[in-house]
Chains A and B, each alone.
Chain A
Amino acid sequence: MTVITELVPFDEALAAYDPVMGLEVHVELGTATKMFCGCSTELGADPNTQTCPVCLGLPGALPVVNATGVESAIKIGLALHCEIAEWCRFARKNYFYPDMPKNFQTSQYDEPIAFNGYLDVQLEDGEVFRVEIERAHMEEDTGKSTHVGGATGRIHGASHSLLDYNRAGIPLIEIVTKPITGAGSRAPEVAKAYVAELRELIRALGVSEARMEMGQMRCDVNLSLRPHGTEKFGTRSETKNVNSLRSVERAVRYEIGRHAGVLNAGGTIIQETRHFHEDDGSTTSGRVKEEAEDYRYFPEPDLVPVAPSRAWVEELRGTLPELPRVRRNRLREEWGVTELDMQSILNAGAVDLITATTEAGAPADQARKWWMGELARNANESGRPLDALPITPAQVARVSELVAAGDLNDKLARQVIEGVLAGEGDPDTVVEKRGLKVVSDEGALGAAVDEAIAGNAAIADKIRGGKVAAAGALVGAVMKATRGQADAARVRELILERLGVEG
């Protein structure tokens, strides 16, 4: 008995209702070993080759906590401005599923390691929206089921299932927001910006690569609507495994329209999990939660409590990098670029490269010019990400230095870059090998200038007569004669000097 309801257009839905969101993000930590055993977490191994009695849940096996996992959890908690529990326990979440070897998941329940925090996210127009964090807790991943023989790849209709426990026991941090209210029509954008910011944060902390396409970061979107002016939250739907930034935005948008449709038709929203479909951005009903699932949580008796000392927590706090948003804003100001420019730098993946280039001594505008110009073009043409180009920020800084010293002009500098990219060596080597130095020998330059004046008497007269702008033609002739290796500004100076004209 499926009731098809009309989707209400987004603006119309927002005119009547106020969306409330809750985002649950699972992050797979990049630890070398699993959360409770010594098995490798390397991706791509043959099925069930990275398993042991512990992560297979064999009778008698016992878990031991991965200290690096705890450390990563604390770092994430601190970066999210959370309080870090002085004492907390793992708990067993009991439910049956074939990809969970013990038929309970070792997780945390009412004693999460981190709680009560927030993450400020910046929307495209620069507005900052604060997303409050309920908790971040540690748990283990499940194995993977592959359902074979059905049309959909889902368990329904499949003839059998294959189980791979390599993923079982990989450390996860689940980060849960408090209900996000007040986003209004920006709810889809806020959701996307939050997940994007969280991803940047996780990467900056170095605790995970957080690649959503690899399942290292997975998002569940909870959404409900309430009529404007009411306080009480509506019934929510839980859209599971929304695994790209764009999908997060679309899922929120779709659910707003769907909920509004049901509510407008006088229906009631069923509390259920829903599947998101990448192809058309829709969601469909998963299993209905007729009553709240009873996981029969209780403290995990096989593990001792985790009690991170305050000294350790403070030590970890001291290692935290600048928050991505703060860093971006700082750099934007330091570099003197607009919000829009910054966005394109971000999109090009050039923030770290430009930063490193300035740290190697180049002025910010030069660093940005090279990375966003010549190098971005090259990356684009060769289909490589910017940071995969065979040139280092230090090399770019050196080129910039040579230009500033007058040893290279712009045109020559581009040739040096080209040489470095072609594997001809570092900038100084390329300059040497290709003979690209600017001609700064006054004698040689003077001779070339004299020659140009003599060969272009008519133009020289014009200049003498006050048409200074005509000097360009003579500069061009000198540059041509020196194969471009002269400093054009100096050439101009010399010409005007010889012709007795004030520049």
Chain B
Amino acid sequence: MTDIIKLTAAETAARIASGELTAVEVTEAHLARIEAVDEKVHAFLHVDREGALAQARAVDAKRERGETLGPLAGVPLALKDIFTTKDMPTTVGSKILEGWLPPYDATLTRRLRDADVVILGKTNMDEFAMGSSTENSAYGPTGNPWDLTRIPGGSGGGSSAALASFQAPLAIGTDTGGSIRQPAAVTGTVGVKPTYGGVSRYGMVAFSSSLDQGGPCARTVLDAALLHEAIAGHDPLDSTSIDAPVPPVVEAARNGSVAGMRVGVIKQFRGEGYQAGVVQRFDESVGLLKELGAEIVELDCPSFDLALSAYYLIAPSECSSNLARFDGLRYGLRTGDDGSRSAEDVTALTREAGFGDEVKRRIMLGTYALSSGYYDAYYGSAQKVRTLITRDFEKAFEQVDVIVSPTTPTTAFPIGERADDPMAMYLADLCTIPTNLAGNAAMSLPCGLAPEDGLPVGLQIIAPALKDDRLYKVGAAVEAAFLAKWGHPLLEEAPSL
């Protein structure tokens, strides 16, 4: 059984297709693993044992009938609890949606089902995807499998922890400011934020509509590519979805190479606040890229210094509007409706009880930033910064094919350490936010352990919009080189739980 859960998704699918393993066996192995370790890790908010086994049986039946199986058929997956599922509650990590069973499947959910992926359950997250540690979940924090007293990143900490603790070989995340990449970085896994519009947002509960992007999480670059291909593509139900062919990500992941590529290093992404071990591993990665035949180019992106400020105006502004619908009238939590109170009072009581502190903080920030008289100074200025950041990226990509940086300035910090210091928490997304603001694509993959704490460090690769395949081409090359250097996947060094 242990062997099954350590397999890559690609290998699992191949063995199911060949009949060496059944999808039911694979699913049962993962359900057993969840049973064994998730009490400690708390990656899942909901495990759908019956649904997963039914899906697995359907895959096995298909194979028995001689039908051709898709590249991920029968592979288990952990779904972030932000995508609607008809057969499982969708809480977004919030009390305000506790027990809400959506009447519809998200486009991404439907695509996973169509690809015969086995959805094991829904993973924990910071409430409404607001956070970098998963501590803002209304259902309690998730532990980092490398050290259960530390955060697994956020907001998609449940998904990254599920991967790192071998509870699933695939997971789905969403990335508004780094919520796929930063958890990947601190758990030694791979996470990709596709180009904005690459993966449908229909059925993905909105935090900040112009920044939110769903994407694949896995333990290898190829697995992420296979998942990317399964979930990406135009969706007529999402107006912002890109109506163009999905970049050839799987092909790129199978043909990793950086020879002759120009790789940019941004000078703004180092200095104060960066942990020494993170900088060390990052510099080694740059050296490795050079060895592999890449040309390194130093880049200056001055507007990136303003990215965090702009983000914390735009994202809360959009969230203040997106979250207005949670009023206790139609679905989810309703508090204080004793027949004596007005709808307005019940709404106020519901929101008071149903939203956590960080969500309230951002709703207030956003409401203020959009207020008449402040709009130009806050939301308006932030949009201008956003344009500047996009221009900086455009200029940079005239000189280079991809950009690399540390994914996050530090390794996983202890649970509770930054819980009362929002600003410190926000800094975790320093290197990831510019990509969300510009809408282009980025990946985080492991580049070693920080010597001082033995915790994973993430390397971020950033590509221009619509060139998501470059992430996989470079990522696969870097991954192969590290594997050769270490002699085994980094996760082998994680405690066995």
**What is A's interface to B at a CB cutoff of 8 Å?**
53, 56-65, 92, 94, 96, 98, 101-104, 161, 163, 292, 294, 296-298, 301-304
A59 near B84 with CB under 8 A, answer: yes
Q: Is B330 an interface residue (CB 8 A)?
A: yes
Alpha-carbon distance A94/B318, docked complex (angstroms): 11
A60 near B103 with CB under 8 A, answer: no
When A92-B321, A298-B321, A301-B210 are in contact, do A62 and B372 touch as well, CB less than 8 Å? no
When A59-B325, A296-B371 are in contact, do A304 and B205 touch as well, CB less than 8 Å? no
Q: Is B173 an interface residue (CB 8 A)?
A: no
Contacts of A65 in B (CB 8 A): 239
B122 to chain A, nearest CB (A): 13
B324 near A59 with CB under 8 A, answer: no
When A53-B103, A304-B240 are in contact, do A60 and B324 touch as well, CB less than 8 Å? no
Known: A59-B325, A61-B202, A104-B321. 19 other contacts (CB 8 A): A56-B330, A59-B84, A59-B206, A59-B331, A60-B90, A60-B202, A60-B206, A62-B201, A64-B237, A94-B320, A94-B370, A98-B329, A292-B372, A296-B370, A298-B379, A301-B240, A302-B209, A302-B239, A303-B239
Q: Is B247 an interface residue (CB 8 A)?
A: no
Contacts of B106 in A (CB 8 A): 60
Per CB-CB distance, the 9 closest pairs between chain A and chain B, nearest first, are A103-B324, A296-B370, A301-B209, A301-B210, A60-B203, A59-B205, A60-B205, A60-B84, A102-B325
Give me 15 A-to-B residue pairs in the complex whose CB atoms sit less than 8 angstroms apart, sorted by A's number: A56-B330, A58-B102, A58-B103, A59-B97, A64-B237, A64-B239, A94-B320, A94-B321, A96-B324, A96-B347, A102-B324, A292-B372, A296-B371, A298-B317, A304-B240
Alpha-carbon distance A262/B100, docked complex (angstroms): 54
A296 near B102 with CB under 8 A, answer: no
Residue of A whose beta carbon sits closest to that of B347: A96
The contact string, 1 if C-beta is below 8 Å from chain A, for chain B 76-104, is 00000001100000101000010010111
The listed residue (B102, B239, B326, B379) touching A62 by CB distance below 8 A is B239
The listed residue (B97, B239, B317, B327) touching A96 by CB distance below 8 A is B327
Q: Is B375 an interface residue (CB 8 A)?
A: yes
A294 near B371 with CB under 8 A, answer: yes
How many interface contacts (CB-CB < 8 Å) are there between A and B? 100
A60 near B102 with CB under 8 A, answer: yes
Within 8 A of A (CB), among B309-348: 317-318, 320-321, 324-327, 329-331, 343-344, 347
The listed residue (B237, B326, B343) touching A161 by CB distance below 8 A is B343
Contacts of A296 in B (CB 8 A): 320-321, 367, 370-372, 375
- Count B interface residues, CB 8 Å: 44
The contact string, 1 if C-beta is below 8 Å from chain A, for chain B 229-241, is 0000000111110
Alpha-carbon distance A296/B363, docked complex (angstroms): 13
Q: Is B443 an interface residue (CB 8 A)?
A: no
A278 to chain B, nearest CB (A): 28
Q: Is B204 an interface residue (CB 8 A)?
A: yes
Alpha-carbon distance A102/B331, docked complex (angstroms): 12
Alpha-carbon distance A96/B325, docked complex (angstroms): 9
B102 near A59 with CB under 8 A, answer: yes
Residue of A whose beta carbon sits closest to that of B329: A98
Alpha-carbon distance A102/B329, docked complex (angstroms): 11
